[in-house]
Structure formats: structure tokens, C-alpha cells
Amino acid sequence: MLYILEDAINGILMGSIYGLAALGLTLIFGVLKVINFAHGSLLMVSMYVAYWTITLSGLHPYVALVIVVPIMFVFGYFLQDIVIKPIFKAEKNVREPITVIIVTTGVWYILDNLTLLIFGPQYRTLQDNPLRGKMLEIGEFMLSVPKLWGFGAAVLTTLAVYLFLQKTDTGRAIRATSLDREAASLMGINAYKIYNLAFGIGTATAGVAAVTLVPFNNVFPTVGVLFDIKCFIIVVLGGLGSIGGALLGGIIIGLIESIAPQFMAATWAEAIVYGLFLLVLFVKPAGLFGVKNDW
């Protein structure tokens, strides 16, 4: 019984990091109404940025946030502004422009291959990092210290994004644009600027996720692919566009991944994840925690 509890807690910790990784995907979808297929690649780029920042500066991984997050914000902001926005403008009268999805797929391929070209296929592990392999012993429990940090980062980041959207003028403008782009433009809101911001913030949250991951997860050019499908499932589970839903969806996946293998083969655990995904799509397509047309 204790084992299961320990697995459950570690599952929640890891799941919250999945949720953090998925946060940007759900935010960008909520505002732009397109699935960003490059999200995993943005996470991968973030992990390289985090890896090199920490390695070259010798900073504590979480101190490196102050460098990684702004870099990724700017990266996402201009990726949308320079690469994606022109497509939106060309397809201005299309409600859900499929060409934008194709472009994000292109971005995925380009980023992954560019990284392979520049850094090679090898796996990189953060050296001398104060969090590496650390375990916290509480009574009978062994908890992973870097994942505990990750949990804290996930909860705080989710809360910060939520409050930003609810309480600030810019956040309000982002919500308005996501609900009705045309009506928002009649309020004087420049939708393309809002798209840039949403993409920047979404990519910045991937930057936070990357910092939580590099202390215990290898960095390599296709690392984003591992998270891609997971993020997508989480976002559908939690409700496309739902900020809190991403965190909760991530925790559900984390729990299934950590507990199910106690009772069945690991491949079956994966089958449960996909089964749940399909079930939600059939029964409650707005997601477990999403409102229809969530913000």
C-alpha cells in the first residue's frame, strides 16, 4: 500500500510537469484556435537553451529561469510575428485555417533538424547540477527533489498565467480575442499583436517546463516528440484552452503512468491513457475541466 502511495505522489509530481509542458499548447490553442504542432519542438529548443544557459553560467537551474524565460518569450513572439502571422493574414476569412497548422508542422521539422545539424544526435546530461538524482526521504517515502521543484514551478506558473489572464488589461484583451476575434477588433484590440503575445507567453511557459526537466531528463534533438503526443492528450483531457485543465490533465496522466504499471504491463498503462483520451473525446469533447468555448 505504501508503495502505491509513493508512486502516486511521484506520479502527481511528474504529471504536474507534463501539465506545465502542455500549458503553452492549450494557451496558444485557446487564443489562435490552431493546434501548434511545433509545441514539442519549442519545448526541445527551450531545453537546449536551458541546458546551455545552466552549463555555461554555472547557475542553479532555477536561477537560470530569469534568462531562459525571456529568451523563449522573444523566440515565440517573433516566430508568430514573422512566420505564422503572414499565413493568418492571407487566410483572414477562413475560420480555422488549416494552412497555419501545416506551417507549424513545418516549423517542427525545421527546428528539429536544425538542432540535429548544430548539436548532433547525442544525449546531453546536465553536469554538476545541485538537483541531479537527489531524493528526499520523508518517513518511508522517497520523493524526487527535482520533481518536487518541478511541481512547485508548475503550480506557480499555472497560477501566474491564470491571474495574468484574469486580472490584467492585457490578459483581458487576450481572453476577449480568444472568445470573439472580430468583436475584439471592434474594441480596438489588434488581434495579431495578441497572437504574438499568446505565442510568446506559451513559449515562455515551455521555457519554464524545460528548466524543470533538464535536471533529470536528457536533452537531444527529438526530445520534444516524446512530449508532443502527451501534451496533446493532456490538453484534450483538460479541455482545449483551459489553463487549470492542463495542470489537472497532466496530473491524471502522471498518475496513470505511475500507478497502472503496478497492476499490469507498462504497455497496458499506455493503452489506458489512450483509452481515456478517446473516451473523453466521445463523451465530453470540451474536456474534463473545460467549459464549451472556454475563455
Partner 1 sequence: MSFLDVRNIDVSYGDVQVIFDLSLKIEEGEVVSIIGGNGSGKSTLLRTISGLMQAESGEISFIGKPIHKMPPEDIVEAGLIHVPEGRRLFSLMTVLDNLIIGAHNSRARGKAKVAETLAKVYELLPRLQERQNQMALTLSGGEQQMVAIGRGLMAQPKLLMLDEPSLGLAPILIKSIFETVRKIANQGTTVLLVEQDVKHSLSLSDRGYVLEHGRIALEGPASQLLNDPHIKTAYLGI
Task: Name the residues that contact partner 1, by CB under 8 A.
Answer: 169, 172-173, 175-176, 179-180, 182-190, 291, 293-295
Q: Which of 254, 255, 204 is nearest to 227 (CA)?
A: 254
Min dist. Cβ of residue 193 to partner 1 (A): 9
Min dist. Cβ of residue 176 to partner 1 (A): 5
- Inter-residue contact 253 to 277 (CB < 8 Å): no
Q: Which residue has the cell 527551450?
A: 46
DSSP state, residue 120: -
Our CB check for partner 1 shows the closer of 113 and 166 to be 166
Q: Collapsing DSSP states into helix, strand and coil, what is residue 252?
A: helix
Our CB check for partner 1 shows the closer of 176 and 280 to be 176
Min dist. Cβ of residue 102 to partner 1 (A): 24
Min dist. Cβ of residue 200 to partner 1 (A): 19
Our CB check for partner 1 shows the closer of 99 and 190 to be 190
Min dist. Cβ of residue 75 to partner 1 (A): 26
Min dist. Cβ of residue 29 to partner 1 (A): 16
Residue 80: alpha-carbon gap to chain centroid: 17
Residue 39 has, within 13 A of its CA and on its CB side, a CA count of 31
**H-type helices in the chain, by residue range?**
2-32, 39-57, 65-78, 85-90, 98-119, 145-167, 169-179, 181-185, 191-213, 223-238, 243-259, 266-283
141 φ, ψ (degrees, to nearest 5): -90, 145
Give the chain's largest Cα–Cα span: 61
Amino acid at 161: V
Our CB check for partner 1 shows the closer of 177 and 205 to be 177
Our CB check for partner 1 shows the closer of 132 and 172 to be 172
Min dist. Cβ of residue 169 to partner 1 (A): 8
Min dist. Cβ of residue 168 to partner 1 (A): 11
For residue 137, what are the β-bridge partners? 142
249 CB-contact burial (10 Å; exposed 0-12 / middle 13-18 / buried 19+): buried
Our CB check for partner 1 shows the closer of 167 and 267 to be 167
Our CB check for partner 1 shows the closer of 137 and 182 to be 182
Our CB check for partner 1 shows the closer of 190 and 262 to be 190
Residues 6+ apart with CB under 8 A from 286: 239, 240, 292, 294
Euclidean distance between CA atoms 138 and 205, whole angstroms:
30
Residue 13: alpha-carbon gap to chain centroid: 15
